[in-house]
Amino acid sequence: MAETIRRHVYVSGRVQGVFFRDFTRQQAQALGLTGWVRNLDDGRVEAVLEGEPASVTTMLNKLRDGSPQARVEHIAVREEPPEGLEGFVMTG
């Protein structure tokens, strides 16, 4: 079985109201990742990504670039132990 890692991510900038969550969900599903993404009240987007290390790294790079309408100013990434999530959902 392939190694699974988990990253908890906070993205700052112009990332709400620009389809960033949907972009994140689509990209994560295409990479076979599990987890979730949601808007925060302070204007940031929060996401949890679980999957193979190469896929998670690719996804982090996509988040740094952002969706076409977004302007990512900062991304904070924290390592966490995987929880074995299923699917990738968009909340909040």
Question: Of 39, 44, 61, 71, which one is the catalytic site residue?
Answer: 39
82 alpha-carbon distance from chain centroid: 14
Q: Catalytic one among 21, 25, 44, 78? A: 21
Is there a catalytic annotation at residue 21?
A: yes
On whether the CB atoms of residues 39 and 92 are closer than 8 A, the answer is yes
DSSP state of 1: -
| C-alpha dihedral, 3 to 24 to 46 to 66, nearest 10° | 110
Which residues belong to the active site?
Answer: 21, 39
